[in-house]
Amino acid sequence: MKLFALSLTLVLALAVTVACASSGADLYNSKCSGCHGKDGAKAAASSGNVTLKGQSAADIETKLKGYVDGSFGGKKMKVMQKMAGKLSPEETTAVAEHIATL
């Protein structure tokens, strides 16, 4: 019985991890990849010539929050203020964690 409970806990933990991972990826692919590229490496005018690839989850999260509170931004910050403002705190973390894996 103990073993059963343990396996159940493991399966649940795994399911939660997978659900979070896919929601960060889904968010990125549907809302961000158009400007930043599927792999985060696109540095076109539409992305303000910045690349997300190679940045840590913590950096991305700080920048996204910075757009919302006005403490971070470049010449095209208005574009990102709109995008970042639509994300919940959980979505911000999930998408930042996904970007770090690109």
Per the listing, tokens 């920048």 go with: 63
Interface with ligand HEC includes 60 (CB under 6 A)? Answer: yes
Please tell me the distance from the alpha carbon of residue 36 to that of residue 50, in angstroms, as a whole number: 8
- Give the chain's length: 102
Query: At which residue do the structure tokens 């103990």 appear?
Result: 2
- Which listed range, 2-10, 16-24, 57-65, lies at the site for ligand HEC (CB under 6 A)? 57-65
Contacting residue, 25, 36, 100, 102, with ligand HEC by CB under 6 A: 36
Compare residues 8 and 34 and give the one whose CB is closer to ligand HEC: 34
Contact 67, 84 (CB under 8 A): yes
- Interface contacts to ligand HEC, rule CB under 6 A: 31-32, 34-36, 46-48, 50, 52, 60, 63-64, 73-77, 79-80, 83, 87, 95
